[in-house]
Amino acid sequence: MRNMECIEDLLNAVMTFYSVAVIEHYMIFLLIIRARSVNDVHDQLLNAVRDHLDKEDRMLDNMLRLKDCVDGNTSLLLNGFIKNVKDGIALVNDPEFISNYINDPETAIKTLIKYMLYHEELLSSIINALRENIRKFMNNLA
């Protein structure tokens, strides 16, 4: 029975990542592009990144039992992504970063771009690893 729970948890995680995280990543990328040419988008961008990371943090808290269902490599990826989300939350809430964001938005946005590119790369790796784990479980059912 545990295998069935794992398959459901894995499927729910992949669907959640696709339906929420991936779409929001590209929305943030769009806001980054707009923020480089339109100053009044800066607040919207920072708020979108904050909201997104808070949402991912809550999603990951709800997915902690996934670690019981995945191989060691996937578990390491999940741990790395959890750390990355926590680091991102700390970044966008750091008073020094906020001060730089206000006084030198160009440099601060470059920092956000670097962070988001790495963040997106990690998420893509996790989705691929979760999909591989799903295939393994499904093959066991066949």
How far is 18 from 64, CA to CA, in rounded Å? 18
* pLDDT (tens digit per residue) in 12-32: 999 999 888 899 999 999 999
Name, in order, each residue with C-beta under 8 angstroms of 16's C-beta and a sequence gap of 6 or more: 59, 63
Do residues 127 and 11 touch, judged by C-beta distance below 8 A?
Answer: no
Lowest-pLDDT range, 9-18, 45-54, 82-91?
9-18
Lowest mean pLDDT among 18-27, 58-67, 88-97, 123-132: 58-67
pTM of the model: 0.90
Q: Rounded to 5 degrees, what are φ and ψ at 68?
A: -75, -15
Query: How far is residue 122's CA from residue 10's CA, in Å, rounded to a whole number?
Result: 17
List Cβ neighbours of 24 (8 Å cut-off, separation of 6 or more): 48, 52, 55
DSSP assignment letter at 40 = G
Element (H, E) at 113: helix 105-141
Amino acid type, 23: I
